[in-house]
Amino acid sequence: MEDFQYREGELYCEDVPVSRIIKEYGTPCYIYSHASLLRQYRAYDSAFSGIPHIIAFAMKANSNLAILRLMAKEGSGVDIVSGGELFRALRAGVPPQKIVFAGVGKNPDEIRDALKTDILMFNVESSAELQAINDVAASMGVRARVALRINPDIDPKTHPYISTGLKKSKFGIAADRALEEFKLATSLKHIEVVGVHKHIGSQLTEVTPFVEALKKILGLVQQVKAHGTDIRYINIGGGLGITYSDEKPPKPQDLAAAIAPLVQHLNCTLIMEPGRNIVGNAGSLITRILYTKQGEAKRFVIVDAAMNDLIRPSLYGAYHEIRPVQQRFVQAATHMVDVVGPVCESGDFLAKDRTLPEVPPGEFLAVMSAGAYGFVMSSNYNSRPRSPEVLVRGGEAHLIRARETYEDLVKGEAIPAFLN
């Protein structure tokens, strides 16, 4: 996280001291680096510059309008998985012809809205969904562009919750049924088959699973083309990992070097769906220490951020580096601690059995690598307002989402008259 560094005795994001952001916006608070976002997006774009391609940012990783607008201005499209994400993408100015719609449970209203918008394509995950898209398209008198998502049964060697390319996964069409599904798709009057899609998982730290899965898909592409279907797009999905602790994931250039020889002769446009790899290490969650507590078996650091703000540690057992905001504490005596929040759950923690320097109550910690699947997975559990989000560009800090108020918590709720 090169844009989050200690300078003049404290943690900075780019040229802004984190303490200044804390003073203005309080904690918990998400902070993102504009420079990091640009650098990582451009690394992807330049790595694949020798191949016709579309980067469809996986906005489930971070769907703030400002970040989507930044991506769109750089030329990015988006990978969406809901009608709400379609709404956000359009509001942020993403061109419809760079939007791909994935997900196993698209409902008729979402399909209709996407067709009205004339998005690039749907990634279809089942024959039932294929028929549903055909029916909605028929009712509108249009044809829907689709790519069939194929499950190649490749082990991505990542957390089971974010593995999507195995036989037991709910995602995609089994490879041994793919030709049959392509035949069905081409027989439907309101379906236009334009591509093939695969996505095997998230936080991948090796190139090999990408290559193995792509080889399976390319074999299928040749068979489909032999049956007269013009495949114009090959979607390789996303999933390239980032460094949270000691991982050494491949870079976009490494992925491009492994994949380019396989696809450059196919006369197809390559679509890729990076999310975490672009935003993960561009963000940090800042939290204030409320109390320290020495229990009979453990020492606890109780902070004002909780599992409702960042659920990844509770949900996945995920590791996030935690740093003091003030550098002077880095050299303090260390203790083995659990960093926990105020939520009334034993599973509410940001770190367990972590060796950290002693930082007193009232001071602040930075939870690193929180740009992906941080705020987007946050909730109002325990009636906690969600955190603000701040985008730093050089020496300027811009509020891109205000902290929710208590009034926001009850917006849309009503007490029926019989209870009055």
> Which positions make up the binding site for substrate?
276, 312, 316, 345, 373
**Which residues are part of a known binding site for pyridoxal 5'-phosphate?**
239, 273-276, 373
Q: What is the DSSP letter of 87?
A: H
Question: Can 344 be counted among the known catalytic residues?
Answer: yes
Q: Are strands 299-303 and 334-340 parallel, antiparallel or unpaired?
A: parallel
Helix axes 127-140, 178-187, angle to 10 degrees: 10
Long-range contacts for 67-76 (Cβ within 8 Å, ≥24 apart)? 67/32, 67/37, 67/279, 67/391, 67/400, 68/92, 68/93, 68/94, 69/93, 70/34, 70/37, 70/38, 71/37, 71/41, 71/278, 74/38, 74/41, 74/42, 74/45, 75/45, 76/41
Mind giving me the DSSP string for 208-252?
HHHHHHHHHHHHHHHHHHHTT----EEE----B---SSS--PPPH
Task: Please say whether the beta carbons of 285 and 11 come within 8 A.
Answer: no
- Pick the catalytic residue: 13, 29, 268, 344? 344
Measured distance CA(212)–CA(170) in Å, rounded: 20
Measured distance CA(121)–CA(100) in Å, rounded: 5
Q: Indicate the burial class of 307 (C-beta count within 10 angstroms; 0-12, 13-18, 19 or more).
A: buried
**Which residues are part of a known binding site?**
239, 273-276, 312, 316, 345, 373
* Residue 417 Cα to chain centre, angstroms: 42
Active site residues: 344
